[in-house]
Amino acid sequence: MSRVYGDVASILDDLDKKKGSIKSLTFGSTSTGSEHKKQVYALVCETLKYREVLNEIINNTPLSEQLNQKQMSGTRQMLSILLYEFLFSPKADAGQGLKSIQGSGKVKKMIAECQTQITSCLARIKIRKKARTSRDLLPDHVKNAARLPRYVRVNTVRTTVDRVVEHLKSKGLQLLEGTHQLPEDDRKSFCFDEHIENLLLLPTNFDLHDDPFLLEGMFIIQDKASCMPSFILSPPAESHVIDACAAPGNKTTHLSSSMRNTGRIFAFEKDKRRSMILQKMLMMKDIDVIVDNFLKSDPTDEKFAQVEYVLVDPSCSGSGIVNRLDYLYAAPASTENEGIVEDNNRLESLAAFQLEAVLHAMKFPSVKRVVYSTCSIHQRENEDVVQSILKGCGGEFKLAPALPTWHRRGLPLFDGCEMLVRTDAKEDRTNGFFVSHFERTHPVQKRELPAKKETPSKKEGLSKKETPSKKEQPMKRKEAASHKRQREVDVSETREEKKEEEKEGEEKDRGEKSEERKKKQKTEKEKTVQQSPVSKNKKKNKNKIKQAIRR
């Protein structure tokens, strides 16, 4: 039996066990040979599309009994794969019958033994469902699934648009000039998007998983709706920006492209594993990855003093995402809201978190504009959250126009909804999305950073409220040490000055005392000379001696 069939059967088992998505299990598997990953991927998708019909045929023919009698565990997946090849593959349509199945083996032998019953069962199913072709047998959620173009955004930090265009042409695609519409059945063309700059539309199934331009980050596979939040925010060069929920990094790199890889972007991601993926993707000089919860960030922190733009794209229900292949192996149940069942408690929890994240973004003192977006179609996560934001921000922010050339707007629930952006997967050929744009009502005033508090004395101590956190303690100790060194320097200088003054005073006192002593000695000598009788007699004797000599 073909190795391809074995790989497909293994992936189908893993999908039933919810071990991953079709793409991750196919292209991320080391067991699947790289030379036939595309073939495996296509066969997985096609088998899943016809799974309902294939199961009905197995259950209503002798195949089911053979599986039970022979206790062939794990064979049902293989039987579904080979039945697809026998009944619905291009080779089957060409009338090749059993030759449509590669190789040989016990499962192929089972199909050969029940060939007549299988074809009869298929005919009855077609009659019952009034199906003219095999495609008419597909369930509605598969037939009506939106077929979206493959969107590729050029990363202008790494390359140019012209270079990417030439690269796509070298892969056999032709650029459609003068149009922004790519026909759904066109497999050989591409064109530029009408609303988002540097965004290209490629054929739906155009394979890029091993393209060198993709691997080197020259272009990024990113849905059109996902490009809208960063494009609407469009911070200018040299700006300081916060991406509050950055992983996996597509919107962050889009912001960097808008800023021409200048300024500074603070990319928050609290999950360590996702932050590692983010760091690998964001190899750009203007991006700082912060592994922390955005809600725990301090808006008054000096490093955020120049932040003027914030993008908040928080966790949401993901109810607008339709380009995943999940619909192939998990058909959604029928409900009032576009066939999507959501737990109300989960929606309430998500909405509370989304509101808190946006209001926290508005606390940064220099912020001028904030963009809030979700990949949800639910009013509870979109218009309701926006209403709560406008009430909770105290009038400091208001709704601003977003993507003026876009036609689909928010639900008409309150004044300003016409400035909100919504997308519809079926009509707009992009994922379901919601974007809102807020701007500050008054110009930002330059605010001084808060003054540093003096360290309390040991006698006063620290109250519980004043006790610094573990993160603040090293900084507090550093400030205290700096203040202590400065005080010691001041005291030392004061002592030196005092010594100099004392020395000068002492020298002056010594000089004055010396003068006083000299004067005193002279005075005393004069008094002594005047008062002494001996000195008078000596003087008389000297005069007598002089007179005698003259004679």
Annotated catalytic residue within 121, 375, 393, 417: 375
**45 annotated as ligand-binding:** no
User: Residue by residue, what is the 3-state secondary structure of 482-539?
Assistant: HHHHHHHHHHHHHHHHHHHHHHHHHHHHHHHHHHHHHHHHHHHHHHHHHHCHHHHHHH
Determine if residue 250 is labeled as part of a ligand binding site. Answer: yes
Largest pairwise CA distance in the chain? 186
Using a 10 angstrom Cβ sphere, with 0-12 exposed, 13-18 middle and 19 or more buried, the burial of residue 400 is: middle
Residues facing 422 on adjacent strands: 434
According to the annotation, is 450 in a ligand binding site? no
Neighbours of 447 (CB within 10 A): 10
CA distance 255 to 431: 20
β-strand 174-175 against 240-243: which pairing, if any?
unpaired
CA distances from 527 to 375, 514, 531, 532, 533 (A): 116, 20, 6, 9, 12
Structure tokens belonging to residue 343: 């737990």
- Residue corresponding to tokens 């926006």: 386
Determine which helix (DSSP H) or strand (DSSP E) holds 135, and give its type and residue range.
none
CA distances from 360 to 105, 242, 297, 418 (A): 63, 12, 9, 25
Question: Nearest to residue 197, comparing CAs of 405, 398, 3?
Answer: 405
Strand partners, 288: 266
Q: What share of the chain is helix, strand, coil (3-state, %, to 5)?
A: 50, 10, 40
In a 10 Å sphere around its CB, with 0-12 CB exposed, 13-18 middle and 19+ buried, how is residue 442 labelled? Answer: exposed
Question: From CA 410, how far away is CA 397, in angstroms rounded?
Answer: 18
Instruction: Show the tokens assigned to 403.
Output: 């993507």
Distance of CA 438 to the CA centre of its chain: 20
Tell me the chain's radius of gyration from C-alpha atoms: 43
**Is 251 annotated as contributing to ligand binding?**
yes
CB atoms within 10 A of CB 50: 22
* 431 belongs to an annotated ligand binding site: no
CA distances from 114 to 70, 72, 308, 410, 535 (A): 15, 17, 70, 56, 165
245 is in an annotated binding site: yes
216 is in an annotated binding site: no
The closest of 49, 58, 1 to 22, measured between CA atoms, is 49
375 is annotated as an active-site residue: yes
Q: Is 288 among the annotated ligand-binding positions?
A: no
Residue 505 assigned ligand-binding role: no
Identify the CA nearest to 381 among candidates 464, 320, 303.
Answer: 320
Q: For residue 225, with 0-12 CB atoms within 10 Å meaning exposed, 13-18 middle and 19 or more buried, which class applies?
A: buried
Q: Who contacts 385 (Cβ-Cβ below 8 Å, separation ≥6)? A: 351, 354, 355, 358, 372
Residues belonging to the binding site are 245-251, 269, 313
Residues belonging to the binding site for S-adenosyl-L-methionine are 245-251, 269, 313
Catalytic residues: 375
